[in-house]
Amino acid sequence: MVILFLAVVIIALYFAIKLLAPEIHKPTLSMAAAIVPPADNTILKTERLEMMVEEKNKSIEHLQEECKVLQAQAQDFDKIKTILEEEIQHLKEQNRLKEIS
């Protein structure tokens, strides 16, 4: 579920970048165009995208930490489950021995 969420976040970032800054991906036509400084609008879009990426990175780090905690809890749950299953099996064996004798 966490992996699905991360995939959705990555896809959303891809489309946000593609929609908000399409001119970033267009190649320049000449060397003169490359020398001209970017417009203020492009700078604002770039800054906005950088802020969005930073926020998404923080949320991804937070999700990774949550995932580690959930994995540790799952391991603890599995240990307890194994102990209880062994105890149940042991008690069943004791009951069978009592019934036989």
61: phi then psi, degrees, rounded to nearest 5 = -60, -40
Tokens of 28: 């320049």
Alpha helices in 1-101 (DSSP H): 2-20, 31-35, 40-100
Domain boundaries defined on the chain: 2-100
24: which residues sit within 8 A by CB, 6+ positions away? Answer: 17, 42, 45, 46
pLDDT digits (tens, 9 = 90+) for 28-67: 555 555 555 556 788 899 999 999 999 999 999 999 999 9
Contact 18, 25 (CB under 8 A): yes
Confidence of residue 12 (pLDDT cuts 50, 70, 90): confident
| pTM, two decimal places | 0.47
